[in-house]
Homo-oligomer: A and B are copies of this chain.
Amino acid sequence: MLGRLIAQITYKEDLMSDPNPEVVEQLRQLLGDQAVRTQPDDFMPDIVLKPESTEQVSTILKICSAAGQALVPLGGKTGLANGHFQTDSELGLSLERMHAIEEVDTANRTMTVQAGCILQTAAEAAEEQGLLLPLDFGARGSATVGGCVATNAGGNMVIRYGMARDMVLGLEVVLADGTIVTSMNKMLKNNTGYDLKQWFIGAEGTLGVITRVVMRLRPHPRSQNTALLAVDDFDSVGKLLHWLDGNTAGTLSAFEVMWPDFYEFITRQGSIHRAPLPHGSAFYVLVETLGSNPEADAESFETVLGEAMEQGLVSDAVLTRSQSERNALWEIRDDVLEFFKLGPIIPFDVSLTIEKMESFVSDIREGMDRLDASICVVFGHLGDSNLHLILGNENPDAFDYGALETLLYESVERYQGSVSAEHGVGLSKRAHLPRSRSEAELQLMVGMKKMLDPNNILNPNKIFSADKIAAT
């Protein structure tokens, strides 16, 4: 199933050609065998450069720029928009050897890391100093900090701490021509001219190669209160979000909504996940607060949820009493891979304003019925206007990737939503980008791409096709 799915979305087999062998040889001479590796792959470049310093990245880009040799920057290679795939004759450029944690600065609450540092490793180094790197999602063990910044990663704490962009204080980037631009700012306020780090955050490696990053850290929370709530209707979900946000004084860190098709399948009979609340509710909401006073926070969490029940916003609730109970709740929410057991599926990541969500989901369900497609699972970081949908078909022969994609993205466009909330555009959403961005916006973006990467050697065909760039 998965193989077939990927075959439909990769470009490698159709278009692949070899990188320029002279460039590869030149790089091998200059950087040594350690930095030029061959590792055959179905989707990613077979020849991967592995520099060990910013200067080596600069050398690589100078040579590739002169030769017109394109590169795919590689982080943890677990992105969900195929931004790390080969599209033509690219070399890979992996930052995996540049994984140092250069500093955890407890006075200023910052950390400085090389881009190839694994997110979880960075988070653990912060935690050792009693600090929190507030970026967390399923791929924490493979994603790199550089990849997180390049894709503006989101995850499980966005409602409280924002996305990757919001925690980057400084960065170092190598431009397409090899110029090293070092902006390793550690200060919270810095209005000295254009905030050029913003240009590279979320640009998916198409404007420059991020080599080092300064991240803002926060005090590590001392209390964590987690609950699963049952809610009777969508209107109450919205009211509950506002109620909690207004009554937890900025400590609300998760508001994860599961539609019953998600919750009931994951906790079905025979599943490894026990159902903490009975099936049959309209919505299930996982909420969490992060505080500083364990006893008082637990009491106030219970009070605030009790009041929500009295108001009828919540019909049933389970509060966790231990870390293992908390883990069990999160494992339900995080076990998205389980849906691959249903049949061929596509996981989507979109955003919508909250008042449109219910009607949007109902439109999608109607469309699925029309297509006779049976899998439609909805969940999301609702506090961040972010919905995930899993669409597919229990009958593999009737699975139609294009039809499902068109159904979904046409609806997103109609509801003025965004075709990418947190996964980025990469290859897989490129064709649908104009549904969320006007031609004036796209032209401006392409102008930026042309200014910073005139030969289109940095992650070409991601976000914009070479044709789009040539035509703008």
Residues of A near any B CB (own CB < 8 A): 105, 107-109, 130, 151-152, 154, 158-160, 162-163, 165-166, 175, 179-183, 185-196, 198-199, 201-203, 207, 218-223, 238, 242, 245-251, 290-293, 296-297, 300, 351-355, 381, 383-386, 417-425, 429, 433, 436-438, 440-442, 444-445, 447-448, 451, 463-464
Contact = CB atoms under 8 A, between A and B. Distances in A.
- Counted per complex, copies of this chain come to 2
A292 B195 contact: no
Contacts of A249: 221, 223, 249-251, 290-293, 297
Given A249-B221, A249-B291, A292-B247, A193 B421 contact: no
B351 A463 contact: no
A232 to B, nearest CB: 18
A421 B195 contact: no
Say whether chain A's binding surface is mostly helix, strand, loop, or mixed.
loop
Nearest to A105: B353
Contacts of A352: 187
A381 B448 CA distance: 35
Contacts of A293: 247, 249, 300
A418 B352 CA distance: 38
A464 B185 CA distance: 21
Contact of A418 (B192, B203, B218): B192
A437 B165 contact: no
Given A188-B385, A190-B351, A199 B198 contact: yes
Contact of A440 (B151, B154, B179): B179
